Amino acid sequence: MEKEKYLELVKQTIPKSSLWKTLLPAFIVGGLICCVGQVVSDVTKLIIPDIDKLSLGSVTSIIMIFLGSFFTGLGLYDKLGHYAGGGSIIPITGFANSIVSPAMEYNREGVVFGICAKMFTIAGPIIVFGIVSSVLVGVVGLFL
Amino acid sequence: MEIFLTYLKVFAVGGAICMLGQILINRTEMTSARILVTFLLLGLVLEITGAFKYMEEFAKAGVTIPIMGFGASLARGALAGVQEEGLLGAITGGMKAVSGGLTSAIFFGFMFAIIFKSKTKKI
């Protein structure tokens, strides 16, 4: 009886506390990464005032992907991801991390079958889904 | 003051989207690939329905930095391509719009994987 009560108490308390322990860091880290993106975008706009909106978006994501890859290379991004969870996965820097992290891990298996093949273990599905759905959107757009 | 408000919006909306992702992770135990695909498709749908444009006006990098922005660019590129070149544009438009991001992700990924030798992974 005591044991059951205890287990029930554990069940009630554990998910709640761990929920807040994961949601708050995800919110803060995710928000901060987006703010870094905004800074990159604003500074780019200052340096090149007559840049058009599409190019500005491209330059911003290229710089953010560079930063994500670089900090993954240093081993810092994976440490951040340990605390931030979704906060480091959802931003575009997380996409870069999902490419660099397995590529580095399988480095010792060689360039072709290690780096080149393994870098798409997580990014592959994203790229495939992205390309397939964009073509479908385009084809549907033909008839509208 | 204006700029402070902008950054507050970026922080709040960007953080909320990431928190939504974290809720998905907690509730469904989805892997990060599935989470990223889900948000990519969400961005795609939001762009098609026209909602993304308003979200972008409101929160700027708060919605474009999350992977949703990638999906939205794909859809926007595909639709713009269709108007310019018809069927060919439907095939090339999406990738044209995200070519910068995708190319840099693969390029930097390859380079940094070679430069930084693999360390034993902790965690």
> For B56-89, what is each residue's pLDDT tens digit?
999 989 999 999 999 999 999 999 999 999 999 9
pLDDT exceeds 90 at position A12: no
Domain count, chain A: 1
DSSP A48-110: STT--HHHHHHHHHHHHHHHHHHHHHTTHHHHHHHHHTHHHHSBHHHHHHHHHHHHHHTGGG-
pLDDT tens by residue, A47-94: 999 999 889 999 999 999 999 999 999 999 999 998 888 899 999 999
**Neighbour tally for B92: CB within 10 Å:** 19
Q: Rounded CA gap, B58 and B80, in Å?
A: 23
Task: Tell the residue number behind the tokens 């965690």, with chain if given.
Answer: B123
Disruptive mutation site among B32, B38, B85, B110 for chain A (greatest number of A CBs within 10 Å): B32
Disruptive mutation site among B8, B19, B39 for chain A (greatest number of A CBs within 10 Å): B19
- The residue of chain B with its CA nearest to that of A109 is B118
* Domain with A37 in it: 2-105
pLDDT tens by residue, B42-51: 999 999 999 9
Q: How far away is chain B from the Cα of A28, in angstroms, using its nearest Cα?
A: 6
Q: Is residue A21 part of a domain?
A: yes
- Give B41's pLDDT tier (boundaries 50, 70, 90): very high
Contact B101 A70 (CB under 8 A): no
What ipTM was reported for this prediction?
A: 0.91
pLDDT exceeds 70 at position B108: yes
Query: Which residues does chain A have within 8 Å of residue B111's beta carbon, measured at their own beta carbons?
Result: 69
Entry pTM: 0.89
